[in-house]
Chains A and B, each alone.
Chain A
Amino acid sequence: MDVDAIREDFPILKKRVHGKKLVYLDNAATTQKPKQVIEAIKEFYSDYNANVQRGVYEISEKATELYEGGRESVAKFINATSSKEIIFVRNATEAINLVANAWAKKNIGKDDEIIISIMEHHSNFVPWQQLAIENNAKIKVVGVDPEGHFKFDEYESLLSDKTKLVAITHVSNVLGTITPVKEIVKKAHEKGAMTLVDGAQSVPHIPVDVQQIGCDFLAFSGHKMLAPTGIGILYGKKEILEKMDPFLKGGDMIKEVHLDSTRWNELPWKFEAGTPNIEGGITMKVAIDYLNRIGMPNIREHEKKLTKYALDAFANTKGIDVYGPRNVEEKGGVVSFNVQQIHPHDLASILDEEGIAIRSGHHCAQPLMENLGLVAASRASFYLYNKEEEIDILINSLKKARKVFRLE
Chain B
Amino acid sequence: MYTEMILDYYKFPRNFGTLEKADIKSRDTNPLCGDEIEFQINLDENKKVKEVKYSGKGCAISQAAASMLTELMQGKTVDELKKISKGDIYDLLGITLSPVRVKCALLGLKVMKIGVYTYLSEEIKLDEDEK
Contacts and interface: CB of A to CB of B under 8 A. Distances in A.
A268 to B, nearest CB: 36
A349 B58 contact: no
A346 B2 contact: yes
Interface residues of B, number: 16
A343 B59 contact: yes
Contacts, number: 47
Nearest to A370: B34
Interface of B: 1-2, 7, 11, 32-35, 57-61, 98, 101, 104
Contacts of B61: 345-346
B59 A345 contact: yes
Contact of B101 (A349, A366, A376, A405): A349
Given A343-B60, A349-B101, A405 B33 contact: no
A376 B32 CA distance: 9
B34 A405 contact: no
A361 B2 contact: no
Contacts of A349: 1, 98, 101
A162 to B, nearest CB: 34
A110 B35 CA distance: 37
Determine the interface band of chain A, counting residues with CB < 8 A from chain B: 10 to 19
A366 B34 CA distance: 9
A403 to B, nearest CB: 10
B58 A343 contact: yes
Nearest to B8: A406
Contacts of B101: 345, 349
A362 interface: yes
Interface string A362-384: 10001001000001100000000
Nearest to B34: A375
B33 A345 contact: yes
Contacts of B2: 346, 350, 404-405
A361 B60 contact: no
A375 B33 CA distance: 7
A344 interface: yes
Given A404-B2, A405-B2, A343 B7 contact: no
